[in-house]
């Protein structure tokens, strides 16, 4: 969904009124995925494995800002 869009996406409109929170959560997700990618590139799965569970911050946004399927 984009602000002023048709509203037919999975995102709730409250993203726009809570942009700072949504943006902070998205930035955290991007940062953690970058760390996971770097660990995997430099040390393989053994190095990345401990970061996998920590990287699933996406659930926080989905729980808060996405309609249930």
Q: What does the block give as tokens for 41?
A: 């590139």
CB burial of 19-35 (b: ≥16 within 10 Å; e: otherwise) equals eeebeebbeebeebeee
**pLDDT in the model for residue 5:** 58
Three-point CA angle 18, 20, 22, nearest 5°: 70
Looking at the predicted structure, is the pLDDT value of residue 1 above 60? no
Per-residue pLDDT band for 60 (boundaries 50, 70, 90) equals confident
Condensed to tens digits (0 to 9), the pLDDT of residues 18-57 reads 999 999 999 998 998 899 999 999 999 889 888 888 777 7
| Secondary structure element (H or E) that encloses residue 25, with its range | helix 19-52
The pTM score is 0.71
Q: Which residues contact 64 (CB under 8 A, 6 or more apart)?
A: 21, 22, 25
């Amino acid at each position: 969904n984009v602000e002023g869009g048709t509203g037919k996406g999975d995102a709730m409109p409250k993203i726009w009124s809570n942009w700072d929170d949504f943006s902070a959560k998205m930035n955290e997700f991007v940062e953690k995925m970058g760390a996971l990618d770097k660990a995997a590139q430099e040390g393989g799965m053994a190095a990345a494995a401990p970061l996998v569970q920590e990287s699933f911050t996406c659930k926080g946004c989905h729980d808060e800002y996405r309609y249930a399927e």
